[in-house]
């Protein structure tokens, strides 16, 4: 195809972009400057201040507005004669169905989460539209091409899952600062400011309750007339003092571990913080201020978020942040969840995590560092987004030219390998074990007598298989369905089925049963072979069921396929990545120096725009490349 034909193909192409964040802004600009004339953008997010350091189509005046719409308007200012249509919506909305996707020549992803990526992958397969996938984290990036029947789909290989930490480690024996962050964010912050009805593994009873069956009040409940500072000190003493002392009473736990040190407020803080720092009512933040900007740091004379606070400073921040929540944001208490863009929440979690770290002999971290861990942040690099956007457009042009022999999966490396920072790799053939594009049956081990249909729907069909509008059949019997077109009787019947064990359903599901699970929106259907199992390991298999074949490739040449370790735990997104480059292409020892062998983590970038699902291009595996 000569240059004129290529330009004609570009100008005549209808392109769908999903995501208008870090990658999306660069991608839209590059598409427009490359000659594309018909571009559609879907993004459900609005612009935040933290976006502005690298999403260059946005300005401060755009904060709070639709990313898709503002990006469209910005590009039309320098390319006014092309057609750009924006959708401020979720790509999983019903209007974006298979017929919607069929109108496009190629789909370009710049998404920030696994669930949406899987959804788009399935719609592209159903619509038979090529997909160009991408992701960045810091200096690392990747672009992959997925064409139905020719290359592997996005779900052909293992994808990272959130790393979990056992609850006992978080609550009793932390050894890393991330354990303290998870404790402060998921347990303490949630207990103080979140939904009071949610289960929580913190010890909530007063310290005397152990010896008095009558005293069972929740130590975290604040009496109406209780002084805020005294309440804060009570919480401090309980979680950093009494609870640590209670843990120390179990001598067996500390035989081979460093013993923690109980910390009490009277040993760290002055007798009255109000006299030392002034009242919270005199803080620069007023009740009319944006809640996300309320901060304890100015009140305490702390200005540099990269400064390492000592125990006293962390203790002061802990108390003052708690006081500010009750003084300035009392209406939000009971409904809050941790948000990395909530300054006061970050201050509280940083201080709590550091005090706990001090108790357990773990090195302290600055607020800047703690925010990165708590928000699962790898700070984004604008140039990486620009490089990846350019690579997306290059692959999109190859797709439009139907130049399959030149498709490449390209990886951006932080350190040169054989003097290369960009590593192109031939795409792989579809995985015959992929339940999405190859229709391989799955195997579910489950206790059919104890597990309810609701467990199957929530833990397997929705959480693991990523189906949004599932339909479950056993033979000719329809066990469960969701949709707006169901009448009240059908809804009642399906809801009743949810509370029945599998073996008690109208068409009993027992050992050897084969279930058909479908998502009509995604036009995806798969078979699940049910295997009854009586017992499960509560630590390693906390869900009480095991699904095989949904994320892993079969073992080849004596190599066993990897599986995730599902510990009973608090989730934190921090896992290693998925598909790997075939050893036939390059061997690990030939491409990467020892000090550069590392797997990237699945964490969020600075503001949830650029998902960190970077695949490891260096790990040896045996997958068949597209011939």
Q: Which helix (H) or strand (E) covers residue 262, if one does? A: none
Q: Which helix (H) or strand (E) holds 256?
A: none
- CA–CA distance, 609 with 80 (Å, rounded to integer): 26
- First-to-final CA distance of the chain: 21
Distance, CA of 350 to CA of 321 (rounded, Å): 11
Strand pairing of 514-519 and 470-474? antiparallel
Summarize the annotated binding site as residue ranges: 19-24, 43, 51-54, 67, 112-117, 153, 156, 434, 437
| Cβ count within 10 A of residue 560 | 9
Angle at 343 between CA 341 and CA 347, to 5 degrees: 125
Annotated binding site for Zn(2+): 153, 156, 434, 437
Q: How far apart are CA 51 and CA 53, in angstroms?
A: 6
Buried b (16+ CB within 10 A) or exposed e, 161-189: bbbbbbbebbbbbbeebbbbbbbbbbbbb
Q: Are 254 and 275 in contact (CB under 8 A)?
A: no
252: CB partners within 8 A, 6+ apart = none
Beta bridge partners of 193: none
CA distance 221 to 606: 35
Distance CA 155, CA 552 (A): 10
Report how far Cα 503 is from the mean position of its chain's Cα atoms.
34
Indicate the annotated binding residues for ATP: 19-24, 43, 51-54, 67, 112-117
| Annotation marks residue 526 as catalytic | no
Q: Which of 168, 180, 412, 526 is catalytic?
A: 168
**Nearest-CA neighbor of 380 among 131, 614, 143, 198?**
614
Specify the residue for token string 């720092």: 277
How many whole angstroms separate alpha carbon 374 and alpha carbon 604?
10
Give the residue from 462, 578, 575, 626 showing the smallest Cα distance to 133.
Answer: 578
Q: At what angle do helices 343-359 and 367-374 cross, to 10 degrees?
A: 100
Question: Do the Cβ atoms of 463 and 545 come closer than 8 Å?
Answer: no
**Which positions are annotated as active-site residues?**
168
């Amino acid at each position: 195809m000569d240059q004129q034909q290529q330009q004609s193909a570009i100008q005549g192409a209808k392109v769908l972009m999903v995501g208008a964040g870090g990658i999306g802004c660069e991608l839209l600009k590059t598409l427009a400057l490359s000659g594309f004339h018909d571009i559609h953008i879907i993004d459900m997010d609005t612009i935040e201040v933290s976006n502005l350091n690298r999403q260059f189509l946005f300005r401060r005046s755009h904060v709070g507005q639709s990313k898709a719409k503002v990006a469209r308007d910005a590009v039309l200012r320098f390319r006014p004669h092309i057609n750009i249509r924006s959708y401020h919506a979720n790509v999983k909305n019903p209007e974006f169905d298979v017929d919607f996707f069929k109108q496009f020549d190629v789909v370009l992803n710049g998404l920030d989460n696994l669930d949406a990526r899987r959804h788009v992958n399935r719609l592209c397969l159903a619509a038979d539209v090529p997909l160009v996938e991408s992701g960045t984290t810091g200096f690392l990036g990747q672009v992959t091409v997925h064409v139905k029947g020719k290359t592997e789909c996005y779900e052909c290989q293992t994808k990272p899952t959130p790393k979990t930490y056992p609850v006992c480690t978080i609550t009793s024996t932390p050894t890393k600062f991330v354990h303290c962050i998870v404790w402060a964010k998921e347990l303490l912050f949630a207990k103080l400011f979140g939904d009071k009805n949610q289960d929580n593994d913190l010890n909530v009873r007063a310290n005397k309750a152990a010896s008095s069956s009558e005293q069972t009040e929740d130590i975290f409940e604040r009496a109406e007339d209780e002084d805020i500072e005294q309440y804060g000190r009570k919480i401090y003493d309980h979680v950093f003092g009494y609870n640590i002392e209670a843990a120390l009473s179990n001598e067996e736990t500390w035989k081979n571990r460093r013993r923690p040190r109980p910390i009490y407020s009277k040993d760290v803080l002055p007798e009255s913080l109000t006299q030392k720092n002034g009242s919270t009512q005199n803080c620069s933040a007023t009740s009319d201020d944006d809640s996300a900007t309320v901060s304890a740091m100015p009140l305490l004379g702390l200005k540099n978020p990269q400064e390492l606070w000592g125990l006293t400073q962390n203790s002061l921040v802990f108390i003052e942040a708690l006081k500010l929540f009750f003084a300035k944001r009392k209406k939000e208490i009971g409904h809050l969840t941790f948000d990395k863009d909530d300054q006061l929440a970050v201050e509280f979690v940083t201080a709590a995590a550091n005090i706990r770290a001090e108790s357990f002999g773990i090195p302290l971290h600055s607020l800047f560092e703690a925010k990165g861990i708590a928000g699962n942040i790898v700070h984004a690099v604008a140039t990486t987004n620009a490089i990846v956007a350019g690579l997306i457009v290059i692959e999109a042009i190859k797709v439009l030219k139907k130049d399959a022999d030149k498709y490449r999966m390209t990886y951006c490396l932080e350190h040169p390998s054989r003097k290369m920072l960009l590593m192109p790799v031939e795409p792989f053939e579809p995985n015959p074990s992929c339940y999405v594009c190859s229709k391989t049956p799955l195997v579910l081990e489950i206790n059919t007598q104890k597990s309810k249909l609701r467990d199957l729907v929530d833990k397997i069909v929705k959480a693991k298989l990523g189906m949004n509008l599932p339909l479950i059949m056993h033979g000719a019997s329809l066990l469960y369905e969701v949709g707006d077109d169901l009448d009240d009787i059908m809804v009642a019947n399906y809801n009743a089925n949810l509370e029945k064990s599998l073996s008690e359903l109208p068409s009993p599901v027992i050992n050897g049963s084969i279930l058909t699970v479908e998502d009509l929106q995604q036009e995806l259907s798969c078979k699940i072979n049910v295997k009854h199992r009586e017992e499960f390991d509560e630590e390693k298999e906390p869900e009480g069921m095991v699904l095989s074949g949904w994320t892993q490739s079969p073992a080849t040449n004596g190599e066993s396929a990897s599986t995730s370790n599902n510990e009973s735990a608090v989730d934190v997104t921090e896992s290693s990545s998925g598909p790997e480059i075939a050893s036939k292409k390059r061997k690990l020892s030939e491409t990467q120096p020892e000090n550069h062998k590392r797997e990237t983590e699945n964490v969020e970038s600075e503001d949830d725009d650029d998902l960190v699902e970077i695949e490891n291009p260096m790990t040896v595996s045996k997958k068949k490349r597209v011939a």
